[in-house]
């Protein structure tokens, strides 16, 4: 677990790691609340962390610390998705719907209040699946998409045989060996520099330590391999066209795509593609590349705070 800096404890308090059960699995989460305000009057944030080697809810630590430093009074719910962090890590081929059902249980029986979803990267697929759960869709009042995938990537439907082939290849001794290499500092630093951050100097010790610690348990590889097998590529264009929640798309000025199918798309083109298809969408650009809550934290907090104020004024 990544400890919260004591210098920020005056601005907010964090619960110890708590757990709830979804199906037979133990799922971890924490709740952050301001220390000097009646947060029950404010809409809450529900954070959905990215999937990757060593990633978990601790991806959001810089974000929530900065959030409360600015005087915000919203509660923040920060869960570990199954297969990540302190949640159970079963040996299964996770799909976005699995994680959406986990979060449905969380929203319905733990949070039980209106929220804004704040979603990193390709986990947009999980948010889309979650929005299609009628029992909790009324609780989702707005959505913030941080660095969502290139439009051709999020709307592509991967071929089932390719997904299964990739999963079976990774779910083997070869994949096991690859993960042992991938969780090493050399690979983590190289990948983060090439694909995630705008500036190499931002790939700092804090980031690398977080990933190394998060990948210590080899069982964490299953969620990563499910992501690499692209079970999240399910042709979501029709579902996106039907989203009727206010949606803020936050893009880095140097946003790039890891996928070859999205490599030709500029940030401006990505913005226009999302605006064309979202019923109630808006976009905003910040400095940075693909992990804005971590690399451009202050700017990201500002745009999310402005969006939250707008949502609160309408619900």
pLDDT value of residue 256:
86
pLDDT value of residue 180:
97
Report if residue 66 sits inside a domain. yes
pLDDT value of residue 257:
73
What are the mean pLDDT values of the chain's consecutive 10-residue runs (315 residues total)?
Answer: 45 93 97 77 94 98 96 95 98 97 97 97 97 92 97 93 96 97 96 95 96 97 97 95 96 79 76 96 96 97 97 84
Count of structural domains within the chain: 1
pLDDT value of residue 296:
97
Burial, 301: exposed, middle or buried (Cβ in 10 Å; 0-12, 13-18, 19+)? buried
CB 258 within 8 A of CB 221: no
pLDDT value of residue 4:
45
Report the alpha-carbon distance of residue 270 to residue 225 in Å, rounded.
26
pLDDT value of residue 258:
58
CB 76 within 8 A of CB 47: yes
pLDDT value of residue 7:
40
Render pLDDT for 18-51 as a digit per residue (tens, 0 to 9): 999 999 999 999 999 988 766 567 899 999 999 9
Report if residue 1 sits inside a domain. no
255: CATH: 3.40.50.1820
Report if residue 266 sits inside a domain. yes
Report the alpha-carbon distance of residue 112 to residue 109 in Å, rounded.
6
Neighbour tally for 247: CB within 10 Å: 25
Containing domain of residue 74, as a range? 6-312
Report if residue 154 sits inside a domain. yes
Q: Which is it for strands 140-146 and 115-120: parallel, antiparallel or unpaired?
A: parallel
Report if residue 96 sits inside a domain. yes
């Amino acid at each position: 677990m990544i400890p919260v800096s004591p210098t920020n404890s005056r601005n907010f308090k964090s619960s110890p790691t708590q757990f709830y059960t979804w199906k037979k699995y133990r799922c971890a989460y924490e709740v952050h609340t301001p220390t000097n305000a009646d947060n029950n009057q404010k809409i809450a944030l529900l954070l959905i962390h990215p999937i990757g080697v060593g990633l978990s809810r601790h991806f959001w630590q810089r974000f929530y610390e900065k959030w409360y430093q600015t005087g915000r009074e919203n509660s923040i719910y920060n869960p570990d998705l199954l297969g990540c962090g302190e949640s159970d890590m079963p040996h299964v081929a996770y799909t976005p719907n699995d994680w959406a059902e986990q979060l449905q249980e969380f929203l319905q029986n733990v949070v039980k209040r209106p929220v804004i979803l704040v979603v990193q990267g390709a986990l947009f697929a999980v948010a889309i699946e979650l929005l299609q759960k009628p029992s909790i869709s009324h609780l989702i009042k707005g959505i913030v998409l941080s660095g969502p995938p290139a439009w051709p990537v999020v709307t592509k439907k991967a071929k089932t045989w390719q997904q299964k082939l990739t999963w079976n290849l990774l779910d083997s001794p070869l994949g096991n060996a690859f993960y042992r290499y991938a969780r090493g500092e050399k690979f983590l630093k190289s990948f983060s520099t090439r694909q995630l951050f705008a500036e190499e100097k931002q790939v700092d010790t804090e980031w690398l330590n977080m990933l190394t610690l998060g990948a210590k348990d080899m069982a964490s590889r299953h969620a990563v391999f499910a992501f690499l097998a692209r079970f999240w590529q399910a042709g979501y264009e029709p579902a996106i066209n039907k989203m009727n929640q206010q949606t803020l798309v936050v893009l880095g000025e140097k946003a790039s795509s890891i996928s070859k199918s999205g490599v030709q798309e500029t940030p401006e083109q990505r913005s226009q593609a999302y605006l064309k298809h979202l019923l109630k969408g808006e976009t905003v650009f910040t400095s940075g590349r693909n992990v804005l809550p971590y690399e451009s934290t202050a700017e990201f907090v500002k745009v999310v705070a402005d969006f939250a104020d707008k949502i609160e004024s309408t619900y």
